[in-house]
Structure 1
Amino acid sequence: MEAPVAGLRRALVLAFFVAGIWSAYIYQGVLQETLSTKRFGLDGKRFEHLAFLNLAQNVICLVWSYIMIKLWSSGSSGGAPWWTYWSAGITNTIGPAMGIESLKYISYPAQMLAKSSKMILVMLMGTLVYGIQYSLPEYICTFLVAGGVSMFARMKTSSKTIISKLAHPNASLGFALCFLNLAFDGFTNATQDSINTRYPKTRAWDVMLGMNLWSTAYNMIYMFGWPQASGFEAVQFFKLHPEAAGDILLYCLCGAIGQNFIFLTISRFGSLVNTTITTTRKFVSIVVSSLLSGNPLSTKQWGCVLMVFSGLSYQICLKWKESQELQKKRKA
């Protein structure tokens, strides 16, 4: 009787984590698209300093992780020291900044679809740098994702509202920024894995604190490091348009809550389950953006979306099978 009860409890906990990740990041996506396209005030000004969102979110996440460590932890964990995150902090600063800047040139659904192709860069780096040999099913997954993203990028939108909302529409530059974002994210993830391997006692909150500490420092230098830095213009914009500050605060809180549930999911259920949740979340984000923002996708574009997520779903199934085989070997 205890086993079914434990299984039900575990399922309910997972459902709660899924709801937390989906709600936080889907709403953050709506806010992000709003901030990149909305005109504020009587003068109809856009918030052009989207990189400021990264600094604001770093600060909120830094405070959040510090509070969680104080509330739920006691003493030293024996994890990685804070200075080990300096290199990952650099790429974690540059990558998201490029991702946010891409919204000046492409729509949010297009950005989400491009970011779903992260596996392409992972396989490319694995083959060229580490000489990893991939299986035929893995190449099929990559073909589906790469083909879907490529065709989506070439298609014209089914509605002029997307282009009219963008400040400077330039699809080539927008997608280039997205893929550079993915490349930097790949280095960040690899560095985090290396740190966790060297310091196995590192807690999720320690990683969150270390990453956001360095990212805050780097973004402060970038945004306020010289008299003409864009951070001062962003602050002036908030003074003239205080309603934008409220949207940004909500954006940052969503990011902190989302990170919170992601780290909890990884610690309780593993990275594979987290990948499944975040992948499906991207698809839901595209649907929500299409319905709420007046950015309808054409039938062909929905076909591209289906192509991309078919590849991702196939990849997830392969990973599940691999994990099951590893568990059987360990039991044997």
Structure 2
Amino acid sequence: MENKVGAMGGGRVWMLCMCIAAIYAAYLTQGIVQENVSTTRYGEKQERFEHLIFLNLAQNVVCFIWSLLMLQLWPNKKGTQAPLTAYWSASISNAIGPACGIVALKYISYPAQVLAKSSKMIPVMFLGALVYGVHYTIREYLCTFLVAGGVSLFALFKTHSKVVSKIASPNAPFGYALCFLNLVLDGFTNATQDAVTQRYPKTNAWHIMLGMNLWGSIYMAIYMFGFPSGNGWAAVEFLRQHPKAAWDIFLFCLCGAVGQNFIFLTISRFGALTNTTITTTRKFVSILISSLWNRNPLSFQQWTGVVMVFTGLSYQIYLKWRRKSQHSHSDSKKSPHAVELLKKAK
């Protein structure tokens, strides 16, 4: 019996290590490719790929195909899935939000974009306190102060001229505004997805991935090819003339599909808190790699801002882990009958 338990424990550790390695590999590679697509000048004419929103459409299509294949290989037989119509509203914000984050790379550097998108807790706490009257602890406000102060410090100090020269249209205020809009829309997406999974608890991760990316593909295709401002055909023509750009975008999409797959797997097997810990540390490493790999030097003050942000995020994760541990410990002290009643009450 003990050997069986030990083997199961070893299996979970192996699965967690595989998820961490896959998420890091997928998103670190995607970050490098995304930065290359937004800064590289392709062909003899040294042209930039200006249609960055097309990346969002391409990723939606690839992720939809990936989830369809996963459902064919491992169909869900546990119960009723959520209807595909349940995802239409969340997919609107999920289509617009990431598109804003991608377009922000025209105006700010990749490290600045990653740092701004890491400050999701700021609008969440702001809206929670202002709209819903949520009361936060001093420690939670300290985390928010560190994150907000770090982002502000990073933004206030001048970006190195070498980094600015790679940006298509340097405009820091507009770039940060797009990242903030990305965060707000992500919050709506997450809340809507939670509502769907609560209503249809048997829905698996790949079905959610399928529904979200199906609607996202439809919305983005309508925008890119149905409106003159979408420039979808211009993007296709650019990729036809520059196969290297087409390969970069395919690699970007493939990394996104693999990353989404293992994020959903991590959440389903180990919980959202474990996933948050992995993705937060991954973002810090993304900034470090961007600075070293792409030779994007950051000033001492900007590195101080980066450290402040991830100190605040790390402390917030620690508080959540401790709260979860204390909750589990208090439950373990109760009688089995009391625990069962508590579960039914929830």
TM-score when normalising by structure 1: 0.97
Alignment of 1:145-224 (within 5 A): 145-157=147-159, 159-224=160-225
The verdict on how the C-alpha distance between 1:74 and 1:99 changes in structure 2, with shifts beyond 3 A counting, is: closer
Cα distance, 1:80 vs. partner? Answer: 1.3
Are 2:282 and 1:281 aligned? yes
Where do residues 100-119 of structure 1 align in structure 2 (5 Å cutoff)? 100-119=102-121
Code of the aligned partner of 2:37: L
- Name 1:307's counterpart in structure 2: 308
TM-score w.r.t. structure 2 length? 0.93
What residue in structure 1 maps to residue 341 of structure 2?
none
Deviations for 1:163-207, whole angstroms, at most 9, x for unmatched residues? 101111011111110010000001000111111111111110111
Alignment-derived partner of residue 20 in structure 1: 22
Q: Which range moved further: 319-328 or 21-30? A: 319-328
Q: CA deviation at 1:299?
A: 1.4
Cα RMSD for the two superposed structures: 1.2
Paired residue secondary structure (2:165): helix
Offset of 1:75 from its aligned partner? 5.0
Counterpart among 77, 81, 84 of residue 82 in structure 1: 84
Residue by residue, what CA displacement relative to the aligned partner does 1:17-45 show, whole Å, maximum 9, x if unpaired? Answer: 00000000000000000000000000000
Q: How far did residue 76 of structure 1 move?
A: 7.4
Question: Following TM superposition, by how much is the alpha carbon of 1:125 offset from its aligned partner in structure 2, in angstroms?
Answer: 1.4
Q: Which residue of 2 aligns with 1:92?
A: 94
Name stretches of at least 5 consecutive residues in structure 1 with no aligned partner: none
Task: Look at both structures and tell me which one has the larger radius of gyration over its CA atoms.
Answer: 2
Instruction: State the alpha-carbon separation in 1 of the partners of residues 79 and 227 from structure 2.
Output: 38
Which residue pairs with 1:226 in the alignment? Answer: 227
Match of 1:266?
A: 267
For residues 252 and 193 of structure 1, do their structure 2 counterparts lie closer, same or farther at Cα, with a shift above 3 Å needed? same
For the 8 Å contact 1:77–1:201, the answer to whether it is kept is: yes
Is the 2:153–2:301 Cα contact (8 Å) retained in structure 1? no
What SS does the corresponding residue of 1:165 show, helix, strand or coil?
coil
Task: Single out whichever of 176-185 and 223-232 deviates more from structure 2.
Answer: 223-232
> Structure 2: how far apart are the matches of 1:299 and 1:264?
38
Q: 1:176 to 1:228 in 2, by over 3 A?
A: closer
Q: CA deviation at 1:212?
A: 0.4
Q: Secondary structure at the match of 2:292?
A: helix
For 1:193, give the aligned amino acid.
Answer: D
Distance 1:20 1:312 in 2: 22
Q: Distance in 2 between matches of 1:260 and 1:297?
A: 32
Tell me how far apart the structure 2 counterparts of residues 99 and 152 of structure 1 sit (CA, whole Å). 18
Partner of 1:124: 126
Match of 1:65, SS state, is: helix
Report what 1:296 is aligned to: 297
Candidates 43, 52, 55, aligned match of 1:41: 43
Structure 2 gap segments, 5+ residues each: 335-346
Q: Aligned partners of 1:222 and 1:125: how far apart in 2? A: 30
**Would the aligned equivalents of 1:163 and 1:169 in 2 still touch at CA under 8 Å?**
yes
Partner of 1:144: 146
Q: Following TM superposition, where does structure 1 have runs of at least 4 consecutive aligned residues deviating by more than 3 angstroms?
A: 74-77, 226-229
Q: Confirm or deny: 8 A CA contact 1:77 1:203 kept in the other structure.
A: no
Percentage of identical aligned residues: 60
The 2-side partners of 1:283 and 1:211 are apart by 27
Q: Displacement of 1:228 after TM fit?
A: 5.9
Q: Which amino acid aligns with 2:260?
A: Q
1:233-282 CA-partner distances (Å, limit 9, x unpaired): 10111122121000000000000000000000000000000000000000
Q: Distance in 2 between matches of 1:305 and 1:7?
A: 36
Q: Give the Å deviation of 1:131.
A: 1.4
Distance 1:316 1:327 in 2: 16
Distance 1:173 1:4, change over 3 A: same
CA drift at 1:79: 2.3
Q: For residue 264 of structure 1, give the secondary structure of its aligned residue in structure 2.
A: helix
Deviations 1:258-315 (A, max 9, x none): 0000000000000000000000000000001001111011111111111000000000
- Separation of aligned partners in 2, 1:88 and 1:174: 24
Contact in 2 for aligned 1:138/1:315 (Cα 8 Å) = yes
The separation in 2 between residues aligned to 1:135 and 1:198, in whole angstroms, is 31
C-alpha contact 2:78 2:202 (8 A) present in aligned 1: no
Shift of 1:74: 5.0
Match of 1:6 among 8, 33, 53: 8
Counterpart for residue 65 of structure 1: 67
Cα offset, 1:77, TM superposition = 3.5
